[in-house]
Amino acid sequence: MNDVPQTPPPPPSPSQAGPPPSGDLHPEVASYPVQADIQWQPEYHRWLPLVKWLLAIPHYIVLAFLGIGASIAIFIAFFAVLFTGTYPRGLFDFVLGVFRWSFRVGAYVSLMTDQYPPFSLEDDPDYPARLDIAYPEHVDNWRPLVHWLLAIPYLLVAHVLASLAGLLIFFAFFTILFTTRFPEEMFKIVRVALRWQARGNAYAVFMTTKYPPFVWS
């Protein structure tokens, strides 16, 4: 009998851990490099839907500047991948941070969470909306040239889902106002729409090399 104590494995880093997968995820989505999740609240503050758009303005101002920085980072990464096959880790983490920040704000103004988003590029395990993208060790040199084109079919479907989500958010505005509830089935549809957008955007800017799955999840 071996009495030598087993050393537990080190905990995963935040970029490896990501948001815990929801139980409703399709297997192809659960194993996809882009993980996005938003936790449903059983009850919401009745009057917050009236002012969330106003409360989010400081985030929109910051994101306007961060978006410019992310565009520059993607432009530099385009040539880095084209000539070296490597997405510089610092640039990747910065673009991921901007996507993550935008995802949290999107969940907040879409009435999916009442918790005010943090002003941070880092992952916040305590926030109900989380996004993570696994870092690719190698990206084929040709991918920056065509990913934006290959992503178009997926992004078109994501746009349709976003339009449906906008309609459901409109109805949720009134259900929260009068009942303090965001109907869970409606919430799940909006969450799927936001996940599709996150996966499509990440692929379009060659942050992942695996094509997003055309599945409802």
In a domain, residue 161? The reply is yes
In a domain, residue 173? The reply is yes
In a domain, residue 4? The reply is no
DSSP one-letter string for 6-50: PPPPPPPPHHHH-SPPPTT--HHHHTSSEEEEEPPPSS--TTGGG
In a domain, residue 144? The reply is yes
DSSP 8-state code for residue 18: -
Question: How many domains does one find in the chain?
Answer: 1
In a domain, residue 10? The reply is no
In a domain, residue 175? The reply is yes
| CB 206, CB 142: distance < 8 Å | no
Q: How do the pLDDT tens digits run along the chain, 217 residues long?
A: 444 444 444 444 444 445 655 556 889 999 999 999 999 999 999 999 999 999 999 999 999 999 999 999 999 999 999 999 999 999 999 999 999 999 999 999 999 999 999 999 999 999 999 999 999 999 999 999 999 999 999 999 999 999 999 999 999 999 999 999 999 999 999 999 999 999 999 999 999 999 999 999 9
- pTM here? 0.88
pLDDT at 129: 98
In a domain, residue 99? The reply is yes
In a domain, residue 92? The reply is yes
pLDDT at 149: 97
| CB 139, CB 85: distance < 8 Å | yes
- The crossing angle, in degrees rounded to 10, of helices 152-179 and 184-204 is 150
Q: Which domain holds residue 174?
A: 34-204
